[in-house]
Every structure is written in C-alpha cells, then in structure tokens.
C-alpha cells in the first residue's frame, strides 16, 4: 500500500525534472522556430497573399491556401532531408535524401565536437573554419600526391586531416598558454590566414590541377575515398563521426585529461590552486579541437564524387558548427543530434526551394531562431508557462539564512 502511495510522488518528481531540464527547452525552441518559419513561408506565398485580399468574404480560401503553403513546404523539407514518399522509387532513391543529410551533418558533427571541448574548457574557439581548411589541405595533398594501397591511403588521409587541424589549433593554444593571448582574436586571424595560404598553394604547379586555369587541385586517388555502407549512398564518414563522439564522451567523462579540462572550465583559479597545469590544459584543448575540426574536411574531399581541393573546401561548416555546439550544449550526444538537425535542414532546404518556390533563406531563419531561444531559456519557459528551476533555489536562500541566524542566537 505504501508503494502505491509513493508512486505518484516519484512520477511527479520525474516529470518536474523533464519540464525543468534543458532537453524540453531545446525541443520547444525547435517548435517555436518551426512556427516562425511557417509564418514566413505563408507571408511570401503568392496564393496566400491573393486570398488574404478577400479574407473577410471567403475565409476558407485563405486558410486552405495557408495550409497548402506551409504543409507543402514542410513536406518537401522532410522529403529532402529524410526520404521521399514515393513507392516506385528504388532503394538508392529512397535513401538519397537521408544520405544528403548525413553527408552535410558529418562535418558539422566533427567540428561541433571540437568546439564543444573548447567551450567546456572555458575557451571560445571560433577557429574551426581555418582548422578545416588546413586539415583539408594536408588531407588533399596526401590524397593526390601519394599513391598508396587503398586502405593505407585512406588512413593516411584521415590522419593528415587530423594532424593539419591539430597543428592549426596548437598555435592559438600555445599563445593562450604562454602569453595569455585572446583565443577569439587569434582564431579569427588564423581563419583568414588559412584561406589565403591555401589560395597561394593552389597557384603552385605542385598543387594545381594540370591543364586547368582554375585554382583547384587534382582529385584524390580512388583508393583514398570513403567507401559506401552496404551499397547505400551513405559512406563511412558518418560512422567515423559517431566514433569520434564516443571518443569525446570517454575523454571528457572517463579520463584524467577530461577531468582536468572540465575543472579548468569550471574554475581555472581553483584548478591551478589544486595543482593542475592550466596552461597545458589549454594547449591540449586547442589541439584536440583543431584535430576534430580538421576531420570535417574528410567528408568534403574523400567522398566518392570527384572532389577537388579549393579555397571553398570548408564552406561555412566552421561557423555553422558553433551553433551546433551551442544547440548540443557541448555534449557529444547533443552535438550529434544537433548536427543531424542542421544537416537535415540544409539538405531539405534545396528541395523545398525547387519544388515549392520557398526561399532557402527560411532555413537560415529557422537556425537563427533556434540558437536565439537556446541562448535564452527563460524566454522559452515564459512562452509555455513552464516553472523556473532557479525560483525555488532563490526562495530557499532567505529561509536558510533565517535558520542560521536562529542557530547563532
């Protein structure tokens, strides 16, 4: 009988943790972003605008056009990101949207994992863009300049991508450790240096594709490219990203180095007083972050398509990974899910634009709203009337001080 009485209390406690947790806040932020996107989609739709002119006379036309506009756009977004709703499609066509999502999310996951390590150490590393470029430079050079056995060639390219990014992360790390240089300014400068450095390399005969006037390199050898999974359009780059996420989780939660990194991020002065080498921790953080960001270039260069090294090898993945790390709250699992979400939005946005005419800029608005709401959890709680987890703590403080005063008296 007592177990039956205690069960509702346990359930209410569990529900309170869910309501007050960050997961629910993130989900609700995505819901709000989708609602904002629906308003924008309807606002730019010509049919909705036409029916709005006689809304008072025939409101049914307006709401029907509104539904067709929003449902059509989001349906195309889903089919472009997950799978096409077509029974006559083959397995490859059915999985093609999912493969595009995975392909676009993999570099975001790699770079987001690296940035998440920096955030947990109290370092705001925004140099993933340059670290991807340098990692891709070394990866691409190994891919087209050397001719090794297939498996060995692929491993050498992946190691080269990690080493190039780690080298570019070591520079701001050692400057931070030895001189106290601001990592934000240093990494911004290194982003530009990396792009211009690669642009200069592509003017050299040893890097430029023979017979081409464009600043591109020769494609990597076929033996250095990522194989597909079981004859599907999805390559093993995504599995490498998942393995990297598992490795980051073990590093941060189960290793001594991860404990030092978390301690430095929580309070560098306290970690230093406890005997930890804060400067060395900064260097390790930036090296690991740069190496993971460098691995993001492997998806761009080692895919089975004819990819070439160019100054656009990093795209905007380095900057988009900042929002992925923030959305994932610097947690490996959250980073993987956030990377898949942003990769799906990007992959589905192209089909949404081509099939419904909805501007792809709506995707950028969705991402921006999500990040804005993630950065302001009290705003999300106030919209949905959720309890504030900090209110109870603030309410307990006067009562605690009152008890202490009574004890002292």
d(CA 16, CA 25): 13
Q: Calculate helix-pair angle for 91-120, 332-356, nearest 10 degrees.
A: 130
Give the distance, in angstroms, between the CA of residue 125 and the centroid of all CA atoms in the same chain.
14
> Is the dihedral angle over the CA atoms 136, 214, 306, 154 positive or is it negative?
negative
Q: How confident is the model at residue 368 (pLDDT cuts 50, 70, 90)?
A: confident
pLDDT at 4 > cutoff 50? no
When pLDDT is averaged across residues 351-367 and rounded to a whole number, the result is 83
pLDDT of residue 271: 92
d(CA 342, CA 321): 9
Task: With beta carbons less than 8 A apart as the criterion, state whether 288 and 281 touch.
Answer: no
Give the distance, in angstroms, between the CA of residue 144 and the centroid of all CA atoms in the same chain.
29
d(CA 285, CA 187): 14
pLDDT of residue 406: 47
Task: With beta carbons less than 8 A apart as the criterion, state whether 136 and 300 touch.
Answer: yes
Residue boundaries of the structural domains of the chain: 16-81+358-389, 106-341
Q: Express each pLDDT in 175-208 by its tens digit.
A: 999 999 999 999 999 999 999 999 999 998 888 8
d(CA 34, CA 32): 5
Q: What is the DSSP string of 320-384?
A: HHHHHHHHTTT-HHHHHHHHHHHHHHHHHHHHHHHHH---THHHHHHHHHHHHHHT-HHHHHHHH
Give residues with Cβ within 8 angstroms of 383, minimum separation 6.
Answer: 28, 32
Q: How crowded is residue 140: how many other Cβ atoms within 10 Å of its Cβ?
A: 33
Cβ-based burial of 321 (10 A; exposed 0-12, middle 13-18, buried ≥19): buried
Of 262, 280, 271, 324, nearest to 114 by C-alpha is 324
Question: What does the DSSP 8-state code read for residue 228?
Answer: B
pLDDT at 390 > cutoff 50? yes
C-alpha R_g of the chain: 25
Task: With beta carbons less than 8 A apart as the criterion, state whether 108 and 343 touch.
Answer: yes
SS (H, E, C) 38-92: HHHHHHHCHHHHHHHCCCCCCHHHHHHHHHHHHHHHHHHHHHHHCCCCCCCCCHH
Joined together, the tokens standing for residue 86 give 């077509």
The DSSP element (H or E) to which 25 belongs, if any, is helix 22-44
Instruction: Please work out, in degrees rounded to the nearest 5, the angle formed at the alpha carbon of residue 318 by the alpha carbons of 331 and 188.
Output: 110
- Per DSSP, the three-state class of 235 is strand
Of 10, 285, 312, nearest to 140 by C-alpha is 312
Q: Express each pLDDT in 79-122 by its tens digit.
A: 888 877 665 556 666 678 888 888 889 999 999 999 999 999 99
Query: For residues 3 and 333, which has the higher predicted lDDT (pLDDT)?
Result: 333
Q: Express each pLDDT in 13-66 by its tens digit.
A: 544 554 556 777 888 888 888 898 898 888 888 888 888 888 888 888 888 989
Of 399, 380, 353, nearest to 41 by C-alpha is 353
What phi, psi does 134 have (nearest 5°)? -70, -40
Of 246, 259, 251, nearest to 333 by C-alpha is 246
d(CA 281, CA 269): 13
Q: Express each pLDDT in 257-298 by its tens digit.
A: 999 999 999 999 999 999 999 999 999 999 999 999 999 999
**Residue with tokens 């002292």, as numbered in its chain:** 408
Q: How crowded is residue 15: how many other Cβ atoms within 10 Å of its Cβ?
A: 10
Q: How confident is the model at residue 2 (pLDDT cuts 50, 70, 90)?
A: very low
pLDDT at 394 > cutoff 70? no
Q: How crowded is residue 151: how many other Cβ atoms within 10 Å of its Cβ?
A: 11
């Amino acid at each position: 009988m007592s177990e039956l009485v205690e069960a509702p209390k346990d359930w209410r406690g569990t529900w309170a943790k869910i309501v007050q947790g960050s997961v629910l806040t993130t989900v609700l932020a995505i819901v709000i972003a989708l609602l904002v996107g629906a308003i924008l989609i309807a606002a730019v739709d010509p049919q909705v605008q036409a029916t709005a002119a006689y809304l008072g006379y025939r409101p049914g036309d307006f709401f029907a056009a509104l539904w067709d506009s929003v449902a059509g756009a989001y349906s195309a977004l889903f089919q472009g990101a997950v799978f096409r709703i077509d029974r006559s499609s083959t397995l490859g066509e059915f999985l093609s949207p999912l493969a595009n999502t995975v392909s676009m999310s993999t570099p975001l996951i790699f770079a987001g994992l690296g940035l998440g390590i920096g955030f947990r150490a109290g370092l705001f590393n925004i140099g993933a863009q340059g670290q991807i470029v340098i990692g891709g430079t070394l990866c691409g050079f190994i891919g087209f300049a050397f001719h090794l056995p297939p498996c060995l060639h692929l491993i050498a390219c992946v190691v080269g991508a990690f080493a190039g990014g780690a080298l570019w992360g070591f520079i701001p790390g050692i400057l931070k450790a030895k001189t106290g240089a601001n990592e934000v300014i240093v990494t911004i400068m290194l982003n530009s240096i990396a792009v211009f450095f690669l642009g200069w390399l592509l003017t050299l005969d040893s890097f430029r594709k023979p017979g081409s006037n464009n600043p591109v390199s020769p494609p990597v050898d076929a033996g250095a490219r990522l194989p597909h999974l079981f004859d599907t359009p999805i390559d093993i780059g995504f599995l490498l990203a998942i393995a990297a996420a598992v490795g980051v989780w073990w590093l941060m939660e189960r290793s001594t180095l991860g404990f030092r990194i978390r301690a430095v991020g929580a309070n560098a002065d306290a970690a230093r007083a406890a005997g930890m080498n804060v400067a060395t921790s900064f260097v390790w953080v930036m090296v690991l972050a740069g190496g993971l960001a460098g691995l993001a270039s492997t998806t761009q260069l080692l895919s089975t398509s004819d990819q070439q090294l160019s100054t656009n090898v990093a795209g905007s993945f380095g900057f988009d990974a900042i929002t992925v790390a923030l959305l994932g709250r610097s947690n490996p699992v959250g980073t993987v899910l956030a990377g898949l979400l942003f990769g799906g939005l990007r992959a589905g946005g192209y089909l949404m634009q081509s099939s419904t005419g909805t501007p792809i800029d709506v995707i950028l608005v969705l991402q921006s709203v999500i990040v804005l709401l993630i950065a302001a959890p009290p705003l999300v709680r106030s919209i949905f009337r959720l309890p504030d987890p900090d209110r109870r703590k603030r309410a307990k403080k006067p009562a605690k001080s009152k008890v202490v005063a009574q004890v002292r008296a």
